[in-house]
A and B are shown apart, each in its own frame.
Chain A
Amino acid sequence: MNDARKPGQVGAHYVSDAPFDPGSIEVLSPEQERYFLASQWRLMWWKLKHHRLAIVCAFILLLMYASTLVSEMLAPYDLHSRFSGFIFTPPQRVHLFHEGEFVGPFVYAMNSRLDMENLQRIYTEDTDTLHRLRFFCRGDPYEFWGLFDGDLHLVCPAENGTLFLLGTDRLGRDMLSRIIYGTRISLTIGLIGITISFVLGIVIGGIAGYYGGIIDHVVQRIIEILRSFPELPLWMALSAVLPVNWSPVLIFFGITVILALLDWTGLARAVRSKLLALREEDYCVAAQLMGARPRRIIARHLLPGFFSHLVASATLSIPGMILGETALSFLGLGLRPPVTSWGVLLNEAQNINVVALYPWLMLPVVPVIVVILAFNFFGDGLRDAADPYK
């Protein structure tokens, strides 16, 4: 078709005069915007929410840690209360009905008799005497966190009655109370230990990954050697070295440090490999050119990029520490009474007589298994959520 227009003349075509925004194609819907602008932690949380098992486990762990804050109130008895008339009492059952009649929670009184033939204490329930449980009641006095005195308990036995829900040990101490107090020590040892090994891992792995070269080589070899060493014998050797005259609290910290000393290698490795990859990124080079010092580059620019990942791997190494403490204390090389952890409690269950005669002394293993499982599943979920490539 021949164009009759002269040069410069505007053709007759339609131009909309409605206002136009050139960026309109790239405008994000509110949901998209929320997603794209979300911080790493927020993304992780969204992903974790869908991992139901991990959430349940996180909840269990939260409850257990919360219980350590108020152990004194939760435990029916004090850690050291002894009942010389109730040695190796089997667990007492809580009943609700007495002879078909609803009474509310109560336990039957325990009668003990010494079987002179076997020299064994035999406990029988006296179904005529009812001991009703009391709630939010005054019981054994305690010093709450060493700060102020109190005697309020969640549940206490009836006046003149006993309440040994999980039985008693060889000194007539209530197992349930001891397990509740033991939670405090066993769970903190994992937390303090992981904090120490976290710091060690980040510092050593950070130095190796950032500088590379010969430092990296040396650190790598050290990590390899430490990892090839069987952990438990080394832990045993190190805790045998702790002086006998140290106070139980000092021993507690000594053991924690020992557990942490061998555990940082995994984290250091993760930090190193991530740093090696990230330090080639443009933003890192830019920071270098602007004259930032290595410490600042590592801490401000590189670490935040994979910190969530590190937290996940750290969570997965807590159970190893808790099991390690339990094994050491069981062998008598770990914590020493009066510091009470699950391992110290299990130390009492060391021979086959216990399994045959007083199986309730092995009950501290239940919280151990629960906590280890919970940490493993929660850590798994956390790691999946922290992995940006899945």
Chain B
Amino acid sequence: MLRYVIQRLLMMIPTLLVISALVFVIIQLPPGDYLESHIAELQSQGESVDQEKIAFLRHHYGLDKPLYQQYIYWLVGMLQGDFGYSFEYDLPVSDVVGDRLLLTVLVSVFTIIFTWLIAFPIGLYSATHQYSWGDYGLTLLGFIGLATPNFLLALVMLYLANVWFGTSIGGLMDARYIDQPWSWGKFVSILEHLWIPVIVIGTAGTAGMIRRLRANLLDELQKQYVVTGRAKGLPPFKLLTKYPLRMALNFFIADIGSLLPSVISGAEVTAVVLSLPTTGPMLLGALQSQDMYLAGSFLMFLATLTVIGVLLSDLALAVLDPRIRLQGGNP
């Protein structure tokens, strides 16, 4: 087991390296460097440019060096907790980001739990009642969730909550908690606001989950041991829960790998519409104003979040499923 964990951890390093290179290339793609466009912008507004500060930043971030050196600077800086400088906010990136990363994690985790809670019973029902009206109806419902663009669902929910409950549900907490230190009240307030984004983001992933769970469970139910069990008179419910369900549960954990990227994608757009204080709106703003260090760190963070999520699901799977653990991760 320990060997498997170490192996899996070591595999993360090249993955993250490649991702960081990819992100770096993307943030380098626009012509000119950030300082040049920043200076041009300041001058067009008639503001004076502090040459010393510019020279300091240029030197500090190695913008006068060749590309590969800049990449190494950026990478080493990130490892030391220096994520670069946000030109739009005129602050180091780590000061700008604040709680946003944590809140993104929170939204993602709750969304995955929500997806599980919805998809599991439906997938179970669909597989055991294959080709029934219930199967078709529930599958269709899941598909409609998949087909409805997140952002529109978010808008409609925002409106409905306003009409029905008379509350403004934009944001992720009551206004009085914004920029306040963490407290119990703040946490409760966040939980109260969390359900709308969770439902909105969750609906998109549910259909895929239901479909995969149904297919997996159907495969399992057609195996011979199920037939044997049935022939020997095992009650249908026990027949379902004893082995096939446990097999399907493994897959549930394994599916985080395909669920997480879509949850995070969905969370970004939904957050823009609902103006959640997560990474979404700020990433969009950073991309639009080409504040590339900020955008780069967000991209890097989202990718790392996915990689760690997949790692956790792999480890959980190894604990659950001896076949994986004993093969040393080479299935």
Contacts and interface: CB of A to CB of B under 8 A. Distances in A.
Interface of A: 221-222, 224-225, 227-234, 236-238, 240-241, 243, 319, 323, 326-327, 330-333, 346, 349-352, 354-356, 362, 365, 368-369, 372-373, 376-377
18 contacts: A225-B22, A228-B257, A228-B261, A228-B307, A233-B264, A233-B268, A237-B23, A238-B26, A240-B290, A241-B29, A327-B149, A327-B151, A327-B269, A346-B149, A350-B273, A352-B155, A365-B148, A368-B149
B19 A376 contact: no
A333 B285 CA distance: 11
B273 to A, nearest CB: 8
Nearest to A236: B287
Given A228-B310, A355-B158, A376 B146 contact: yes
A232 B270 CA distance: 12
A372 B15 contact: no
A241 B265 CA distance: 18
Given A230-B303, A241-B30, A365 B261 contact: no
A221 B14 contact: yes
A232 B159 contact: no
A352 B151 contact: no
A261 to B, nearest CB: 11
A228 B306 contact: yes
A230 B150 CA distance: 15
Contacts of A221: 14-15, 18
A332 B288 contact: yes
A237 B143 contact: no
Contact of A355 (B14, B15, B159, B268): B159
Interface stretch (B87-95, B243-251, B294-302): B294-302
Contacts of A225: 15, 18-19, 22
A376 B268 CA distance: 24
Contact of B26 (A232, A241, A326, A369): A241
Contacts of B151: 327, 330-331, 346
Interface of B: 14-15, 18-19, 22-23, 26-27, 29-31, 143-144, 146-152, 155-156, 158-159, 162, 257-258, 260-262, 264-266, 268-269, 272-273, 283-284, 287-288, 290, 295, 298-299, 302-303, 306-307, 310
B143 A236 contact: no
Given A225-B15, A352-B162, A368-B149, A233 B283 contact: yes
A236 B283 contact: yes
A61 B144 CA distance: 17
A365 B30 CA distance: 33
Contact of A232 (B30, B268, B273, B288): B268
A336 B266 CA distance: 22
A319 to B, nearest CB: 7
A233 B147 contact: no
A160 to B, nearest CB: 36
Nearest to A228: B306
Given A227-B258, A228-B257, 11 more contacts: A221-B14, A230-B306, A240-B290, A240-B295, A241-B30, A333-B287, A352-B155, A355-B156, A362-B152, A362-B155, A362-B156
B contact patch SS: helix
Nearest to A330: B151
A166 to B, nearest CB: 16
Nearest to B159: A355
B116 to A, nearest CB: 19
B302 A323 contact: no
B15 A331 contact: no
Nearest to B153: A365
Given A330-B149, A368-B147, A230 B268 contact: yes
Contacts of B272: 331
What 8 A-B pairs are tightest by C-beta distance, nearest first?
A232-B265, A372-B147, A240-B287, A230-B264, A355-B159, A230-B261, A241-B29, A369-B147
Nearest to A368: B149
Given A240-B287, A365-B152, A228 B303 contact: yes
Given A355-B155, A362-B152, A231 B265 contact: yes
A354 B154 CA distance: 13
A236 B284 contact: yes
Contacts of B159: 352, 355-356
A349 B22 CA distance: 34
A333 B268 CA distance: 13
B122 to A, nearest CB: 16
A237 B287 contact: yes
Contacts of A349: 152, 155
A369 B18 CA distance: 36
Contacts of A228: 15, 257, 261, 303, 306-307, 310
Contacts of B303: 228-230
A295 to B, nearest CB: 28
B307 A233 contact: no
Contacts of B146: 372, 376
Contact of B261 (A227, A326, A331, A355): A227
B210 to A, nearest CB: 12
Contact of A224 (B15, B264, B290): B15
Nearest to A229: B303
Nearest to B284: A331
B284 A229 contact: no
Contacts of B19: 225, 229
A128 B290 CA distance: 57
Nearest to B140: A373
A63 B286 CA distance: 41
Given A233-B302, A333-B288, A373 B147 contact: yes
Contacts of B261: 227-231
Contacts of A222: 18
Contacts of A241: 26, 29-30
